[in-house]
Amino acid sequence: MSMSKMSRLVAVCSSIGLAAGGVAYTAYKGGEPVHARVTCSNQYKFPAGSNYPDILQHRNYMAQVLTPEMYNKLRSRTTPHGCTFDECIQPGVDNPSNPHFKEVGCIAGDEESYEVFSEFFDKVIDERHEGYKPWDKHIKDMDYTKLKGGCLDDKFVLSSRVRTGRAIRGLRLPPSCTRAERREVERVIVEALNTLHGEFKGRYYPLKKMAAEEHQKLVEEGFMFGKPTAPQYVAAGMTRDWPDARGLWANDSKNFLVWINERDHARIISMQKGGNIAQTFMRYCKGVNLLEQEISKKGWDFMWNEHLGYMATSPADLGTGMRAGVHIKIPMLSKDPRFDLFLQAMHLQKRGTGGTDSPIVDDVYDISNSQRLGKSEVELMQVLIKGVEDIIKMEKELIKGGTIDRLLPASVRDLYNKKNKTA
C-alpha cells in the first residue's frame, strides 16, 4: 500500500473512531505484518469449554471444522478493527442448517478476519471451495474477448445476469461496520459511479428517500433489494440501522446496477433479457473495471490479495465473487431424476428466480456457476455456457420424446446407476 493511501486510511480510521491498542498478535499478509489485539474482557474469565457453542447437530461448514481446541486458541483474538472470532461464527451457531444447500455458517467482519482467524477460515475455504489450500493463488481474467459462445437459445433462456461483490479496503464489512463506515462506503461508491458516462451513465436511488411504492416496484422488477430477512443475515448484523446508507445505483438502461451496503459494500450486477450472456458479461467486465479505476483515483482500493482474490463478507463469495446465471424454462429436464447429478458434475447450481431459498415457479430455474475461487471469470463463464448449452440440448431431445442417455456425462450415468443399485 502506498504512503498516500496509508495516510488516507489512517485519517479515515481516526475520523470514524477506529483505534488500535492492547496486546499485539501478529499475522502476515502479503509479506507485511498484521497486528491484532488480544482482548482482555470479563467474558474470558470463564474457561473456553464453558463458552463453546452447542453445534453437535449443526450441518454447515463452520460446525464441520470448528473444534474446542481451535475455539480456545482463537476466541480471545480480535482484528485491528475490533472484530472477534465469536462474531464471525455466530451466524452459523444461530442457524444450524439450510434445507436447500450447505451454508458456510460464518462471516468475516473485516478484511483482516481471514488472516487473524486463518486457522479456522483456511479449513472452511478448503471444504467450501473443493480443496483450495492456503498456498494456492487465485486467477483473475476479465478479458471478455476470450469468451467463446454465449448466445444461448432465447426460446429457453429468458434472461441472463452476471453479478459480483466488492468491498472497500480499510472499512469494515457490513456485519461489523459502524454507521460512519457504512455512510463512507456509500459516499465513495456513489461519487465514483456518478463520474461514469456513455452506457454506464445513471443515477443513485437512496433507499431512505424512496417512497414505499417506488421501492416495491423496483423490487418486483428485479432491480432493487429489500431488507434481508434470511436468518443468517439477521444473525450476522447486516440489517442494523436499516435503511441508512443503503441504495441502488442504476444506469439509464437499468441493465447495469450496483446495490450499496446490502450483503457486501457493493453488489455489482449486469443483466438483460434473452440469452446473450456474452453481451451481459462484456458489460459486467467493463463496468466493474471502470468502477475500480474511479475509486482508485480517489486513493481507495477494493479488498484483494493473491490468495483469496476479491474479499467478501461470506467465505463462499471469495475469489471472483462472481455468480453468472440464466433464468431458463425446462419443464422436461427438471423432472429427470438425474438432473441434480448433472448440475453437480458440471459445477452448476439451481435455485428459484426469486433468490436464495425461493420456490420454483412455472418450471423456470435460475442456473449459475457454483465455483468462485481458484478459477478466473472467463473460465467460470465458459463452464456456465457449456452447461446451459447441454441443458438446452437435453430439453429439446425430451420434447421430441427422445432419450438423453447419450447426452449425459458417463460419470453422471454411472453414479445414478450405482445409487439405484444400492437403494
Q: Any binding-site annotation on 356?
A: yes
Cα-trace Rg, the chain: 22
Spatial distance between the Cα atoms of 37 and 79, rounded to a whole number of angstroms: 6
**Of 19-23, 146-150, 236-240, which range is least confident?**
19-23
Q: Any binding-site annotation on 327?
A: yes
Q: What is the pLDDT of residue 25?
A: 39
Q: What is the pLDDT of residue 23?
A: 37
* Amino acid in the structure at residue 375: K
Q: Which residues contact 139 (CB under 8 A, 6 or more apart)?
A: 374, 375, 376, 379
Mean pLDDT of 382-398: 98
Q: Any binding-site annotation on 355?
A: yes
Q: What is the DSSP letter of 123?
A: H
Mean pLDDT of 91-116: 93
Q: Any binding-site annotation on 326?
A: yes
Q: Which residues contact 222 (CB under 8 A, 6 or more apart)?
A: 271
Ranges in the chain annotated CATH 1.10.135.10: 3-128
CATH number of 144-399: 3.30.590.10
Q: What is the pLDDT of residue 41?
A: 57
Q: Which residue has the cell 482474490?
A: 309
SS (H, E, C) 348-363: EEEECCCCCCCCCECC
Q: Which residues contact 358 (CB under 8 A, 6 or more apart)?
A: 351, 352
Q: Any binding-site annotation on 353?
A: yes
**Of 82-86, 93-97, 353-357, which range is least confident?**
353-357
**Contact criterion met (CB below 8 Å) for 238 and 228:** yes
Mean pLDDT of 254-275: 97
Q: What is the DSSP letter of 156?
A: T
Q: How many residues does the chain have?
A: 423
Q: Any binding-site annotation on 23?
A: no
End-to-end CA distance of the chain: 57
Higher pLDDT, 355 or 194: 194
pLDDT band, residue 127 (cuts 50/70/90): very high
Higher pLDDT, 34 or 112: 112
Spatial distance between the Cα atoms of 156 and 110, rounded to a whole number of angstroms: 41
Q: Any binding-site annotation on 247?
A: no
Please state which architecture CATH assigns to domain 3-128: Orthogonal Bundle (1.10)
Q: Any binding-site annotation on 162?
A: yes
Ranges in the chain annotated CATH 3.30.590.10: 144-399
Mean pLDDT of 18-40: 43
Q: Any binding-site annotation on 324?
A: yes
Q: Which alpha helices (H) appear in 298-376, and where do they start and end? A: 339-345
Q: Any binding-site annotation on 299?
A: no
**Contact criterion met (CB below 8 Å) for 204 and 247:** yes
**Contact criterion met (CB below 8 Å) for 366 and 325:** yes
Q: Any binding-site annotation on 163?
A: yes
Query: Is residue 27 pLDDT above 80, yes or no?
Result: no
Q: Any binding-site annotation on 274?
A: no
> Given CA atoms 169, 170, 176, 182 in this order, what sign does their dihedral have?
negative
What are the tens digits of pLDDT across the range 300-353?
999 999 999 999 999 999 999 999 999 999 999 999 999 999 999 999 999 988
Spatial distance between the Cα atoms of 321 and 303, rounded to a whole number of angstroms: 12
Q: What is the pLDDT of residue 227?
A: 84
| Cα 336 to Cα 316, 330, 398, distances in angstroms | 29, 10, 10
Spatial distance between the Cα atoms of 366 and 350, rounded to a whole number of angstroms: 6
User: How are beta strands 323-329 and 309-310 bridged, if at all?
Assistant: unpaired
**Contact criterion met (CB below 8 Å) for 354 and 309:** no
Q: What is the pLDDT of residue 294?
A: 98
Spatial distance between the Cα atoms of 207 and 241, rounded to a whole number of angstroms: 12
Q: Any binding-site annotation on 323?
A: yes
